C-alpha cells in the first residue's frame, strides 16, 4: 500500500489587505504553527475517496458536486498532470488552521492536496504551478481573490505581492531581523466574499476617494517592506506603520468592534502595533510585539475572551 503525505502552512497579511485587490502591494507571511495536511493512500476498493475529518465529510470524487472545492482541486490537479482518470486512492484531509478567520485555511488545504497528488503520482509540482492551481479554487471561496493567499502558502515564504495580468509581481522578501507576532482570534467568521463585495460597492460610489485610501496603504506597504528587508526601522516605528494601516482599514469599513477590542487590548499590554489581518469584519488581528512582551500580550488577549491565540516568529 502506497502512502504519501503533504502539508501547507497558514498565512497572515502583515500589510496591504483589501488595497491589494485594487492593484496595490501587500506583504504576507506563512504561519507554520498551524498546518493543513493531506494524506493519500492506496484504496483497497475502486474509486477516489475524500475524507475531510474537520468537515465531517466522507464521499467519492465521482459523486461530488461540481462546485465542491475539494473535488475541484483534485480534478484540476489531475488535469494538469495529464491524468484522465483519478487513481484508486483515499485522500485524508485535516487542518489545525481555524476556518474562515483570515489565516488562509482554504488555500492551505488546496496546496496540501496538490502537493500530495503530485507526489503520489510521481509528478512533483513546482510552487508557482501549485499557486496557480490553488488560485482557481480560491475563486470559489472568495469570488474575486487577490491571489496573495495561494502565493504565500504555496511558496511558504514571506512575499511582497502585487496583483497583475497576465501574472502578478511576486518577490520573496528577506527578513533582516526576526519579528514576533501575536495573533488573536475574535471567534467570528471573516466573510471574505462579503467584505470584499461590500467594499467594492462603496468604491463604486466614490472611486476617487477610495483610490486615495488605497494609495495611502500602498505607501505604508512599501515603507514596511524596506524596513523589514533592511532592518532600518526600530520596532516601534514598524509598529506605527501597522497602526496607520489599521486606521485606514477602519476608514474602509472592514474592521469591527470585536477586532478593535483585541487590538486595543494588545496595545495596552505592550504591542507596538496591531491591526486586523485578512478580510476583517471578524477573523484575526495581529500584534507586533517585543519578543519579551509576547506572552503578556497573549495572556491579555485570552483574558478578554479571544477565541484563540498564536505566538509566531517571522524570520
Axis crossing angle, helix 148-155 with helix 105-120, rounded to the nearest 10: 50
Is 88 a catalytic site residue?
Answer: no
Distance CA 212, CA 216 (A): 6
Question: Would you write out the chain's pLDDT as a tens digit for each of its 315 residues?
Answer: 799 999 999 999 999 999 999 999 999 999 999 999 999 999 988 899 999 998 899 999 999 999 999 999 999 999 999 999 999 999 999 999 988 788 889 999 999 999 999 999 999 999 999 999 999 998 887 666 778 889 899 999 999 999 887 788 889 899 999 999 999 999 998 878 889 999 999 999 999 999 999 999 999 999 999 999 999 889 999 999 999 999 999 999 999 999 999 999 999 999 999 999 999 999 999 999 999 999 999 999 999 999 999 999 998
Q: How far apart are CA 109 and CA 273, in angstroms?
A: 30
pLDDT at 280: 93
Name the pairing type of β-strands 25-42 and 169-172. Answer: unpaired
Nearby residues of 247 by Cβ (< 8 Å), 6 or more positions away: none
| Residue 289 φ/ψ, nearest 5 degrees | -135, 155
Give the phi and the psi of residue 157 in degrees, each rounded to 5. Answer: -145, 155
pLDDT computed for residue 121 by the predictor: 96
Catalytic residue among 67, 88, 149, 206: 149
3-state secondary structure string, the chain? CCEEEEEEEEEEEEECCCHHHHCCEEEEEEEEEEEEEEEEEECCCCCEEEEEHHHCEEEEHHHCCCCCHHHHHHHHHHHHCCCCCCCCEEEEEEECCCCCCCCCHHHHHHHHHHHHHHHHCCCCCCHHHHHHHHHHHHHHHHCCCCCHHHHHHHHCCCEEEECCCCCCEEEECCCCCCEEEEEEECCCCCCHHHHHHHHHHHHHHCHHHHHHHHHHHHHHHHHHHHHHHHCCCCHHHHHHHHHHHHHHHHHHCCCCHHHHHHHHHHHHHCCCEEEEECCCCCCEEEEEECHHHHHHHHHHHHHCCCCEEEEEEEC
Q: Please list the residues that pair with 287 across neighbouring strands.
A: 182, 274
For 2-61, the pLDDT digits (tens) are: 999 999 999 999 999 999 999 999 999 999 999 999 999 999 888 999 999 988 999 999
Tallying the residues shown for the chain, one arrives at 315
What confidence tens digit (pLDDT) does each residue in 251-281 have?
Answer: 999 999 999 999 999 999 999 999 999 999 9
For the beta carbon of residue 170, count every other beta carbon within 10 angstroms: 19
Domains and CATH numbers, the chain: 3-172 (3.30.230.10), 179-314 (3.30.70.890)
Measured from the Cβ of residue 21, the count of other Cβ atoms closer than 10 Å reads 21
β-strand pairing of 25-42 with 159-162: antiparallel
Cell of residue 259, nine digits: 477586532
pTM score: 0.86
CB atoms inside a 10 Å sphere around CB 100: 17
Whether residue 52 is preceded by a cis peptide bond, meaning omega within 30 degrees of 0, is no
Amino acid at each position: 500500500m502506497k502512502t504519501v503525505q503533504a502539508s501547507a502552512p497558514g498565512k497572515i497579511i502583515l500589510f496591504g489587505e483589501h488595497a491589494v485587490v485594487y492593484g496595490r502591494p501587500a506583504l504576507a507571511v506563512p504561519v507554520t504553527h498551524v498546518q493543513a495536511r493531506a494524506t493519500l493512500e492506496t484504496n483497497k476498493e475502486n474509486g477516489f475517496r475524500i475524507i475531510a475529518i474537520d468537515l465531517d465529510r466522507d464521499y467519492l470524487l465521482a459523486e461530488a458536486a461540481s462546485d465542491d472545492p475539494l473535488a475541484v482541486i483534485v480534478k484540476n490537479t489531475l488535469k494538469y498532470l495529464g491524468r484522465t482518470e483519478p487513481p484508486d486512492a483515499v485522500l485524508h484531509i485535516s487542518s489545525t488552521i481555524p476556518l474562515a478567520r483570515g489565516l488562509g485555511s482554504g488555500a492551505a488545504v488546496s496546496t496540501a492536496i496538490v502537493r500530495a497528488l503530485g507526489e503520489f503520482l510521481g509528478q512533483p509540482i513546482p510552487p508557482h504551478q501549485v499557486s496557480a492551481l490553488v488560485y482557481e479554487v480560491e475563486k470559489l471561496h472568495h469570488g474575486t481573490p487577490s491571489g496573495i493567499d495561494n502565493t504565500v502558502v504555496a511558496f511558504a515564504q514571506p512575499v511582497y505581492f502585487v496583483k497583475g495580468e497576465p501574472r502578478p509581481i511576486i518577490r520573496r522578501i528577506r527578513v533582516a531581523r526576526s519579528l514576533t507576532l501575536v495573533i488573536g482570534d475574535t471567534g467570528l467568521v471573516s466573510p471574505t466574499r462579503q467584505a470584499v463585495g461590500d467594499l467594492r460597492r462603496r468604491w463604486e460610489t466614490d472611486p476617487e476617494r477610495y483610490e486615495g485610501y488605497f494609495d495611502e496603504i500602498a505607501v505604508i506597504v512599501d515603507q514596511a517592506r524596506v524596513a523589514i528587508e533592511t532592518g532600518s526601522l526600530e520596532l516601534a516605528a514598524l509598529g506605527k506603520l501597522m497602526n496607520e494601516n489599521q486606521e485606514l482599514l477602519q476608514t474602509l469599513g472592514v474592521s469591527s468592534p470585536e477586532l478593535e477590542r483585541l487590538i486595543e487590548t494588545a496595545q495596552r499590554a505592550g504591542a507596538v502595533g496591531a491591526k486586523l489581518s485578512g478580510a476583517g469584519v471578524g477573523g484575526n488581528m495581529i500584534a507586533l510585539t517585543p519578543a519579551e512582551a509576547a506572552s503578556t500580550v497573549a495572556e491579555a488577549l485570552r483574558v478578554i475572551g479571544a477565541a484563540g491565540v498564536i505566538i509566531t516568529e517571522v524570520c
